[in-house]
Amino acid sequence: MMSVQATDNTHYHETPEGIMLQLKLAGPVVRACAWSIDAAIRMVLYSAIGMLFAFFGGVGTAIILIGFFLVEWFYPVIFEIYRGATPGKKAMGIIVVHDNGTPISVPASLIRNLLRVADLFPVLYGAGLLTMLGNRRFQRLGDLVAGTLVIYRERELQEFRIPQVTPKPPPQRLSVEELRNIIAFAERSSRLTVERRIELANQMEPLTGLLGEAAVNELYAYANWLTRGR
């Protein structure tokens, strides 16, 4: 059976209390947009620091260099620790968390941001981009070492709704993971194109015995039964 986890970019984590968290992972495009916004903000800060201390001679130059260093390396750390996201990430609706869904800690934020040095190689975050594309959780090198994820904020996840159709039980006994995948497909289908919904539903033909829109509606019926139709 098709794994929704691999197709809708959702990371699942089960807490010690048995609660299954669903974390919607942020991909390279939205993260690049967030980085661009933060880069523009940093440029404004660099300019302000330069203008404020440009006329203080050697001491001013030293202050400017220190200021540039602090902005470059601790600008993201401060925002991540206190708000979970830099202004750029906040604008794009994403946030940094530990891979178990908990708020990011000071050590983890320091590690993921200081390791941007490695992600920058050979140019323009080339190593970071390749690493992100090479794993399902879109983690760059800093994320892998720090154990962090970049996900969409909870308010984005709350927009997911299962389309209302007549509930219907699945025709066979399924594993917990398969049941969860059906519900995840139904919850996120509104964000998919019609073609993509059908493509994913067709992969479940061994279960539904249907293709096309009929298969999509059949999965909706299963999801409604699994969540509240019993």
Convert the pLDDT of each residue in 145-168 to its tens digit: 999 999 998 754 455 678 888 898
Break the chain into its structural domains and give their ranges. Answer: 24-153, 160-229
Predicted confidence band of residue 16 (pLDDT cuts 50, 70, 90): low
CA 48, distance to chain mean position in Å, is: 32
Q: What is the pLDDT of residue 230?
A: 47
Q: Report the C-alpha dihedral over residues 43, 98, 136, 76, rounded to 10 degrees.
A: 0
H-run or E-run covering 79:
helix 57-83
pLDDT digits (tens, 9 = 90+) for 32-77: 999 999 999 999 999 999 999 988 888 889 999 999 999 998 999 9
Helices (H) and strands (E) in the chain, counts: 13, 4
Residue 151's SS3 state is: strand
With 50 as the cut, is the pLDDT of residue 17 above it? no
Phi-psi region of 116 (alpha: psi -120 to 50; beta: other; left: phi over 0): alpha
226 vs 108, residue with greater confidence? 108
| Percent composition of the chain: helix, strand, coil (DSSP 3-state, to 5) | 60, 10, 30
Q: What is the pLDDT of residue 159?
A: 54
Predicted confidence band of residue 8 (pLDDT cuts 50, 70, 90): low
Q: What is the pLDDT of residue 19?
A: 56
pTM to 2 decimal places: 0.65
pLDDT digits (tens, 9 = 90+) for 18-34: 556 778 899 999 999 99
